[in-house]
Structure 1
Amino acid sequence: MRRLLCLVLLLCSAQLHAEPGFISRLLNHPVPGGVAVVPLGDGAEAPGVRYQGKPVLVVREEGRRWIAIVGIPLKSAAGVQQLTLSDGRQLSFTVGTKHYREQRIKLKNTRQVNPLAEDMARINRELAEQTKAYQTFSPAQPSNLMFDKPVNGPLSSPFGLRRFFNGEERNPHSGLDFAVGAGTPIKSPAAGKVILIGDYFFNGNTVFVDHGQGLISMFCHMSKVDVKLGQSLPRGGIVGRVGATGRATGPHMHWNVSLNDTRVDPAIFIGAFKP
């Protein structure tokens, strides 16, 4: 009888150990444009993990097992995907499906829909700068994964919208918009380092903040930038002010979140994700 009781207790303990923790419950939404949380075991050191050839954020969940937090590209098809560990092992996870709505926007400035040849030289240069920033992978772990909202206000345009400008389809909406007034302070949702500042053709005044291990925030369309390149920001530090610079129809706060150089739905990190 005592042996049976011990076995039951061991099974219960193992089951509790396998249950997902807070981070997994918050972030695990494995759909195109979402995030997959993949258990990695409870070894003494964090395993290195890559997805589609790019390094992946790895943290220890609540002092227990290691988990990989993987950004899934918006164009991913449903089905099984593979992670590669530093020891050569492969782990799989399954991507589900998600439908994204359409958004139709009318712009008076037609160059922001069909740029001129001289505009394209600038756009390509700016794209290269931003692509390099998104590929940053610093060793420090993020200070927090339950993000604070950068501004207090209602959500407007969600992530992933299929966007049509003046009737012509362009790239899907890669971030999350908040409907707040011009001049509203924008706060960093987690501690980080400013790795890029620019005034871009489409994004207007823009700031990239590296939170660690490929987790990056991008804020754009700002009326004012309140940080300097290389500056360290605490959680809640002021990045800039809301505006309508670049391709914007009015003041709002646009926020991108990137994981392993993949833009994902920021709503996941503030507990506002809608399947």
Structure 2
Amino acid sequence: MKNLLILLILVSNLLSYEIVNGDVEILKVDKNSAGKLYIDKKELFWFTNPANKDEKVAFVSSNYRAKNDIVVKSIVDDKEQILTFKVIKGDYKQEKLTVEKSKVKPPKTVQERIKKELEEANKIYLSTTKTLLFNSKFTLPINSKITSDFGNARVFNNTLSSYHSGTDFRAAVGSTIKACNSGVVKLAKDRYYAGGSVVIDHGAGIYSQYYHLSKIGVKVGQTVKKGEVIGLSGASGRVNGPHLHFGIIVNGNSVNPTDFIEKINFALFDR
């Protein structure tokens, strides 16, 4: 696993790293070395490691469609460090799925609904709670086989429509779905494409998604604990059968959920 953990040495120099499109990397420094942090002109934030109060961490995510290098600037005591992340294309596959025609070419009567749902979700993901809302490792929401990996090109009814922004797990209708970590529910409703949906804010710009649910068991604004049942799996929305779509958003970008969990657990809790 390349670049699992980057230790910043805050001196004036230039370093180069790699990041896969649709992936995340974690920066870590001593708490006294955490200054200003930017991607281009957008400020990033340092957060106290819940497992070590003497450390600060920050998260750099790459958009799936990113092509340009990601340049991160750290400034401490007027000294700059530039980290250049070269974006490399992930080894993503293509998969063909058959779904209802209306889920590929939605009728005009639902297009406004789809637009509003997208705008609502993006508004959530672009906000950042300035603290971590969890203090232990992330876990998977269901112990089941992965049926579709993150990043796959999705060909619905012979039409290339999108890429897979999460990971699908086998889940019969009515299987219990648990929060992958503690946080606050930011979305809990039925949506056109995602079906029964729950989104949890874990702080620091980290959100988890649980889609295609048959039953939603939480409300917006509710605080949930890791492992708490938040709903039941189903086959709602754009699907070709019952399953759980599990996604992770970091700083507004969808990232590989299983890779994210492995990295954050190692960086914060296993070192």
TM over 0.5: yes
Name the aligned partner's letter for residue 130 of structure 1: A
> 1:36 Cα deviation (Å)?
1.6
Gaps of at least 5 residues in structure 2 are 7-16, 264-271
Matching residue of 1:225: 216
Measure, in 2, the Cα distance between the counterparts of 1:66 and 1:254. Answer: 31
Given that 2:171 and 2:234 are in contact with CA atoms closer than 8 Å, whether structure 1 keeps it comes out as no
Measure, in 1, the Cα distance between the counterparts of 2:105 and 2:257. Answer: 28
Gaps of at least 5 residues in structure 1 are 1-19
Q: 1:36 and 2:4 equivalent? A: no
> 1:228 Cα deviation (Å)?
1.1
SS of the residue corresponding to residue 181 of structure 1 reads: coil
Q: 1:49 and 2:37 equivalent? A: yes
> 1:191 Cα deviation (Å)?
0.4
CA RMSD of aligned residues (A): 2.7
Select 1:199's aligned residue among 190, 201, 216. 190
Select 2:116's aligned residue among 104, 107, 125. 125
Q: Deviation per CA, 1:186-224, whole angstroms, max 9, x where unpaired?
A: 111110000112211101111110000100001110000
Measure, in 2, the Cα distance between the counterparts of 1:101 and 1:57. Answer: 34
Bigger fraction of residues in helix: 1
Larger Rg: 1
Matching residue of 2:94: 102
SS of the residue corresponding to residue 222 of structure 1 reads: strand
SS of the residue corresponding to residue 67 of structure 1 reads: strand
Matching residue of 1:13: none
Residues matched between the structures, number: 247
TM-score for the superposition, normalised by structure 1: 0.81
Map 1:28-177 → 2, pairs under 5 A: 30-39=19-28, 41-44=29-32, 46-51=34-39, 53=42, 55-56=44-45, 58-60=47-49, 62=52, 65-77=55-67, 80-85=69-74, 89=80, 91-94=82-85, 95-107=87-99, 109-144=100-135, 146-177=137-168
Measure, in 1, the Cα distance between the counterparts of 2:197 and 2:73. Answer: 34
Amino-acid identity (%): 28
Given that 2:37 and 2:44 are in contact with CA atoms closer than 8 Å, whether structure 1 keeps it comes out as yes
Change (3 A) 1:187 1:54: farther
Given that 1:150 and 1:189 are in contact with CA atoms closer than 8 Å, whether structure 2 keeps it comes out as yes
Bigger fraction of residues in strand: 2
